[in-house]
Amino acid sequence: MKNWSLVSQFRITLIWIILSTILASFVTYILVAVIFMYGISSEKIYPADYYESQIPLVEDYVRSHSDKGISSLQQEDVSELITGDTIYYQFTDKNGKKLYGTYSNDIFDSKETMYQKINSTFIKDKYYIHTIPIITDIGNIDGAVSIIYSLDMSTINNANPWMPVVLVFIICSPFLYMVLFTLIFSRNFAKSVIKPLKILTKGTEQIKNSNLDFELDYHANNELGALCESFSAMQNALKNSLSAQWKMEQERTENVQALAHDLKSPLSIIKAYTETLIDDTEIDVEQTEYLSVIKENTEKSIVLVNQMQYTTELTLPNVNIEKDSINLEEWLQKKRAEYELRAKDKKVCISLKMASDIPATIFTDKNKLERILDNVISNSIEYVPVSGRIEINVEADETYIYYAVLDNGDGFSSKDLNKALERFYRGDEARSSKGSHSGLGLYIVKQLSGLLGGSVEISNPQSGGACVKFWHTY
């Protein structure tokens, strides 16, 4: 059945459900019929006409003992003649008034009514009533005996109270069997569908985790088998494509690292010789200015090379995370003082606000957190105006520490908001500024935040300026 199409499997399952229901219902009816016949033969079950069959016995008794009228009949004798739980009797006088018996309701409302019902059977209050006249030896009617009964099948003296339950089950059995066999056979059908789907789900998880070295252990000549084969073909094509891409990325990373490493030495030499020439007292002012420009741009190049090398290191697998215990408030106060000293020339005011629920001690990679904060604050210091302000707000929940750095600079352009976190992106403001920009600052913040279990967002608050929000686990 595994190799059949899903439509065929569904149809076969439906046929099995119907056939099993019919067979189980047939067997049930046979068993019930056998039990019923046994009950009747062993006198444990009254047939539906059982009470009606007792009427002739009462009629014979009344005719043979009514020569002196109703007084010659004994209530106990009638009670012995009728047996069952839903059969009753009642004696009435010649005017149709109730005298005594096991049936409490009035049967006749007048003498005329009783005479009309004599020797007949009628229905009242969901019961069948047969009226037998009491005739004296001189031919006068001195009253009547009424037998009240039902035509329902019942058990003797309620010996088997489960009989109603059995009857309900017999009626409902086809529906119950239908539900039961639907659950059984549909479960098997569902298994044949769910198994390959689970395999495909695991395969997608493997691809999501950049693992393409796996096989789908499912083979069938149906739609799901074809789907798994297509998935395997896609996996192989993706593996070949990504392997080439990963190889190119690896080569690019190695080339960047090698280039950065090769540039460090000549740049350091240029910087050293430039500083030496600047210190030479024999050069004039114009030469000194030229050398200063060379030194400044060499230092910018060294910073850029260091950032490039650091960025490539972050993309390597198994980046080392060294978590330390940090008194966050004390550490941030020291960093705030350091940033104010760095922004002293621009007279920038830097404030720190920490929520009351911040843990006293957190565990994270201090160096990487410091690198994140340095990049964000340095960016804000550069873009705020003279006498500007920078706010550092810190909050926490059960999992993360959140940092929001707000400044009153020009904010991000619409293009910046979409691309500022990309590698080597440089906005218009960066190109026109006097600072040194590699387009790697916020990209490094994004990478480091991810390594610490968080992320980063940038926005322009309604109050103006820019906001960089990042968070990490603790």
Q: Residue 227's pLDDT band (boundaries 50, 70, 90)? A: confident
Res 434 pLDDT > 50: no
Asked if 336 and 350 touch (Cβ cutoff 8 Å), the reply is yes
Q: What is the identity of the amino acid at 329?
A: E
Tokens of 287: 């030469």
How far apart CA 469 and CA 450 sit, in angstroms, is 13
Residues 6 or more apart whose CB falls under 8 angstroms from that of 354 comprise: 328, 329, 332, 393, 394
Write out pLDDT tens, residues 123-179. 998 899 999 999 988 888 999 999 999 876 554 444 455 556 666 777 788 888 888
Question: Given this model, what pLDDT does residue 89 score?
Answer: 95
Q: Does 36 or 457 have the greater pLDDT score?
A: 457
Q: Residue 433's pLDDT band (boundaries 50, 70, 90)? A: very low
Q: Residue 121's pLDDT band (boundaries 50, 70, 90)? A: very high
Range name among 78-82, 209-213, 356-360 with the lowest pLDDT average: 209-213
Write out pLDDT tens, residues 290-320. 888 998 888 888 877 877 777 777 766 677 8
Write out pLDDT tens, residues 336-378. 999 999 999 999 999 999 999 899 899 999 999 999 999 999 9
Res 385 pLDDT > 90: yes
Domain 212-318, classified CATH 1.20.58, yes or no: yes
Asked if 346 and 381 touch (Cβ cutoff 8 Å), the reply is yes
pTM: 0.47
How far apart CA 35 and CA 32 sit, in angstroms, is 5
Residues forming beta bridges with residue 354, ordered by sequence position: 394
Question: Given this model, what pLDDT does residue 36 score?
Answer: 66
What average pLDDT is seen over the chain?
Answer: 84
Question: Given this model, what pLDDT does residue 316 score?
Answer: 66
Res 455 pLDDT > 70: yes
Tokens of 62: 């009344």
CATH class of residue range 52-152: alpha beta
Tokens of 58: 């009462």
Question: Given this model, what pLDDT does residue 46 score?
Answer: 63
DSSP secondary structure string for all residues of 192-216? HHHHHHHHHHHHHHHHHTT------
Task: Calculate mean pLDDT across residues 265-289.
Answer: 84
Q: Return the CATH number of 324-473, one of 3.30.390.30, 3.30.470.30, 3.40.50.11440, 3.30.565.10.
A: 3.30.565.10
Q: Give how far Cα 304 sits from Cα of 281, 288, 339, Å.
A: 31, 24, 21
Range name among 21-30, 121-130, 228-237, 326-335 with the lowest pLDDT average: 228-237
134: helix, coil or strand? strand
Residues 6 or more apart whose CB falls under 8 angstroms from that of 317 comprise: none
Question: Given this model, what pLDDT does residue 450 score?
Answer: 92
Judge if 52-152 and 212-318 fold alike in CATH terms.
Answer: no
Question: Given this model, what pLDDT does residue 153 score?
Answer: 52
Asked if 186 and 13 touch (Cβ cutoff 8 Å), the reply is yes
Three-state secondary structure string covering the chain: CCCCCHHHHHHHHHHHHHHHHHHHHHHHHHHHHHHHHHHHHCCCEECCCCCHHHHHHHHHHHHHHCCCCHHHCCHHHHHHHCCCCCEEEEEECCCCCEEEECCCCCCCCCHHHHHHHECCEEEECCEEEEEEEEECCCCCEEEEEEEEECCCCEEHHHCCCCHHHHHHHHHHHHHHHHHHHHHHHHHHHHHHHHHHHHHHHHHHHHHHCCCCCCCCCCCCCCHHHHHHHHHHHHHHHHHHHHHHHHHHHHHHHHHHHHHHHHHHHHHHHHHHHHHHHHCCCCCCHHHHHHHHHHHHHHHHHHHHHHHHHHHHHHCCCCCCCCCEEEEHHHHHHHHHHHHHHHCHHHCCEEEEEECCCCCCEEEECHHHHHHHHHHHHHHHHHHCCCCCEEEEEEEECCCEEEEEEEECCCCCCHHHHHHCCCCCCCCHHHHHCCCCCCCCHHHHHHHHHHHCCCEEEEECCCCCCEEEEEEEEC
How far apart CA 164 and CA 174 sit, in angstroms, is 17
Angle between helices 441-451 and 285-314 (to 10 degrees): 30
Question: Given this model, what pLDDT does residue 155 score?
Answer: 46
Res 246 pLDDT > 60: yes
Residue linked to tokens 């252990």: 217
Range name among 3-7, 128-132, 406-410 with the lowest pLDDT average: 3-7
Q: Give the whole-number percent of the chain exceeding pLDDT 70.
A: 87
Question: Given this model, what pLDDT does residue 126 score?
Answer: 87
Question: Given this model, what pLDDT does residue 167 score?
Answer: 67
Q: Where exactly are the structural domains of the chain?
A: 6-47+160-195, 52-152, 212-318, 324-473
Angle between helices 366-383 and 441-451 (to 10 degrees): 150
Write out pLDDT tens, residues 255-276. 766 777 677 778 888 888 888 8
